[in-house]
Amino acid sequence: MKTTSKTTAEKIDLYKLHKEDYVSPRKPALLVLKPITYLAIDGQGEPGGASFTDRIGALYAMAYTVKMTRKFGGQQDYSVCKLEAQWWGPTGDPDFAHLPKEEWCWKLMIRTPDFVARGELEQAVAVLAKRGKSASVKEVRLETIEEGQCVQMLHVGPYDREGDTIAIMQAHAEKHGFRFQGRHHEIYLSDPRRVEAERLKTILREPLASAR
């Protein structure tokens, strides 16, 4: 009986492969993260505003163009991950929520396999330019982020009520001898265009440092 060998590796799902990074408990949990590679693009302004929307579109256009180019080129295929974002104030202050939303700074991110190379992004920019996509695709880059020790918790409900969840996370961190340090991080499990605000699910992550 003739057997055939596997010519292509199985499709990679980074969320399944790194499920320990995406725990979503209803109570805060401590975890340590290794460096993670993302497609990333920075910006400033109100969430859902013109700049924010433009850069989300650019990020997803890049993510899917790189992925599909690899797939149809016979290279390792993978699933495009969910949207993530870091948030901070214009002076680098992680306590940004009290500021006017037009002053909020953010980094939009999609986790990406380590084997994706810069040259693939350059190729995708050329493809997207021919399709008339936003010039913002040129701003999408590969970035490795190392958050280390963090506290993480699932927030259910509107984004503007995250403060209650963050307060619980902060108390938990302090109880274990840590303090918040670094940029507020959100991982979006729900699409706000399709899910009502009260049912939105968002993983909240806060990097930590020793309080001692």
Residue 4 has pLDDT above 90, yes or no: no
Asked if residue 109 lies in contact with residue 63, where contact means CB atoms within 8 angstroms, the answer is: no
Q: pLDDT tens digits for 166-193? A: 999 999 999 999 999 999 999 999 999 9
Diameter of the chain by CA atoms?
70
pLDDT of amino acid 132: 94
Rounded Cα–Cα distance for residues 176 and 210 (Å): 9
Look at residue 6 in the predicted model and tell me its pLDDT.
Answer: 41
Percentage of the chain lying above the pLDDT 90 cut? 91
Please check whether residue 38 is in contact with residue 140, taking contact to mean a CB–CB distance below 8 angstroms: no
CB 147 within 8 A of CB 33: yes
So what's the pLDDT on residue 57? 97
Q: Phi then psi for 8, rounded to 5 degrees? A: -130, 145
Q: What are the tens digits of pLDDT across the range 116-155?
A: 999 999 999 999 999 999 999 999 999 999 999 999 999 9
Residue 34: the pLDDT is 97
pTM (two decimals): 0.93
| Residue 9 confidence (pLDDT) above 90 | no
All domains in the chain, ordered by first residue: 21-210 (3.20.80.10)
Q: What values do phi and psi take at 103, rounded to 5?
A: -95, -10
The β-bridge partners of 185 are: 86, 205
Binned at pLDDT 50, 70 and 90, residue 156 comes out as very high
* More confident call, 9 vs 68: 68
Q: What is the pLDDT of residue 8?
A: 53
Q: What is the pLDDT of residues 60-87, one digit of tens each?
A: 999 999 999 999 999 999 999 999 999 9
Q: Residue 30, SS3?
A: strand
Summarize the confidence of residues 25-34 as an average pLDDT.
Answer: 97
